[in-house]
């Protein structure tokens, strides 16, 4: 029942009105004095009084969800596709794309089940978009054979700009793993070798891991021209310090202490090779010889690491070509080692 406000209580309120008015006047005076003090402080120290509160980025999707971020960089905004850790954990796996990386989506998203593989793990998947023929390196200059307007600075992006940005979402700068295939295989090893404080594990699938081997600079020139008309010399002239710094065979001693999963197949067609057209046959043939080339370089790095007494986990399937379904399978094999490194 609502109280009766028309009876004695109203009379009591009326009798108390003068006292309330007196206290109201006093509060108003005190409030005015405080306002004057605050205004004076604002005039004397505007940088303090006018400073806006700092807020971090806000997740648009819940933990475990998928989101596309636009990350500022010296190259311009870079799209990064992210699957957030299921329970909000801070560890992350960077999944790098191949030579023919697209500008709209990372191929790990559209060509594999990578997100499903890690959907029940408390690990954020970080999948940068773009970087065709970049080798995920900091280039010397823009490519002068295709009209590129900016200089690739992918190593800077992956080791400074991107982790700084993701830190605002609670992603660790120090508890990360990185995996790459083909072009990005040596890049994954390079990032772990030179930034061990950021990456605790590196995986390379079918990567050319001996870039200074005879014929490799020429092969890279042809591959980069075929994928976007990029000039290899704008990346780094062969045998220059920048070139040597990209070669796992050269920087192998710096891989000591880095947990690694390294794989390559023989190039023989296997379960995922079923060409149904003439172009399919040509593509399969290309995937065969490129994979066999990756196997040679990977075996060379294995021998180099063995000589240095640096351990790694290796997988050399007897069959398999240079294509995404095989890399999907290798990621699944690498998964327990990645999770152990991130959760250790």
Nearest to 206 by CA among 189, 231, 225: 189
Nearest to 171 by CA among 87, 91, 69: 91
The residues annotated as belonging to the active site are 182, 291, 322
pTM score of the predicted model: 0.83
Q: Does the domain formed by 66-343 have CATH 1.10.1740.10?
A: no
DSSP structure string for 211-258: TTSTTHHHHHHHHHHHTT---HHHH--TTSHHHHHH-HHHHGGGGTT-
Q: How far apart are CA 260 and CA 43, in angstroms?
A: 59
At 24 the pLDDT is 45
Domain ranges of the chain: 8-49, 66-343
pLDDT (tens digit, 9 = 90+) per residue, 136-149? 999 999 999 999 99
Check pLDDT > 50 for residue 31: no
In the DSSP assignment, the letter for residue 94 is E
pLDDT (tens digit, 9 = 90+) per residue, 219-265? 999 999 999 999 999 999 999 999 999 999 999 999 999 999 999 99
Contacts of 257 (CB under 8 A, 6+ apart): 196
Q: How far apart are CA 68 and CA 126, in angstroms?
A: 10
Sheet strands (E) in the chain: 66-71, 78-83, 92-95, 124-128, 176-181, 199-205, 260-263, 313-315
Comparison of pLDDT for 312 and 58, the residue scoring more: 312
In the DSSP assignment, the letter for residue 53 is P
Contacts of 271 (CB under 8 A, 6+ apart): none
pLDDT (tens digit, 9 = 90+) per residue, 78-137? 999 999 999 989 999 999 999 999 999 999 999 999 999 999 999 999 999 999 999 999
Instruction: Count the Cβ atoms, other than its own, within 10 Å of residue 151.
Output: 14
Contacts of 145 (CB under 8 A, 6+ apart): 225, 229, 230, 231, 234
């Amino acid at each position: 029942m609502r109280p009766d406000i028309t009876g004695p209580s109203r009379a009591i309120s009326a009798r108390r009105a003068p006292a309330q008015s007196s206290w109201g006047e006093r509060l108003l005076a005190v409030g005015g004095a405080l306002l004057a003090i605050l205004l004076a402080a604002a005039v004397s120290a505007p940088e303090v009084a006018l400073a806006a509160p700092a807020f971090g980025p806000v997740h648009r999707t819940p933990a475990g969800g998928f989101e596309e971020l636009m990350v500022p960089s010296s190259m311009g905004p870079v799209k990064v596709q992210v699957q957030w850790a299921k329970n909000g954990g801070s560890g992350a796996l960077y999944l790098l794309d191949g030579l023919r990386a697209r500008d709209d989506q990372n191929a790990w998203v559209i060509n594999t089940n990578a997100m499903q593989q890690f959907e029940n793990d408390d690990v954020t998947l970080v999948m940068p978009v773009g970087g065709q023929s970049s080798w995920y390196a900091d280039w010397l200059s823009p490519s002068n054979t295709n009209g590129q307007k900016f200089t690739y600075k992918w190593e800077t992006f992956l080791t400074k700009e991107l982790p700084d940005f993701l830190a605002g979402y609670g992603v660790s700068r120090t508890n990360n793993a990185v995996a790459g295939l083909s072009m990005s295989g040596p890049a994954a090893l390079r990032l772990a070798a030179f930034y061990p404080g950021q990456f605790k594990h590196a995986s390379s699938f079918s990567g050319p891991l001996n870039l200074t081997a005879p014929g490799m600079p020429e092969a890279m020139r042809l591959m980069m021209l075929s994928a976007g008309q990029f000039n290899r010399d704008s990346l780094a002239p062969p045998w220059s310090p920048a070139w040597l710094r990209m070669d796992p065979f050269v920087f192998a001693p710096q891989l000591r202490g880095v947990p690694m999963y390294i794989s390559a197949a023989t190039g023989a067609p296997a379960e995922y090779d079923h060409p149904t057209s003439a172009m399919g046959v040509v593509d399969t043939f290309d995937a065969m010889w490129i994979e066999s080339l990756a196997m040679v370089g990977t075996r060379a790095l294995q021998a180099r690491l063995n000589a240095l007494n640096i351990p790694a986990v290796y997988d050399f399937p007897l069959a398999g070509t240079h294509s995404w379904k095989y890399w999907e399978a290798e990621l699944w094999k690498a998964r327990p080692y990645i999770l152990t490194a991130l959760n250790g």
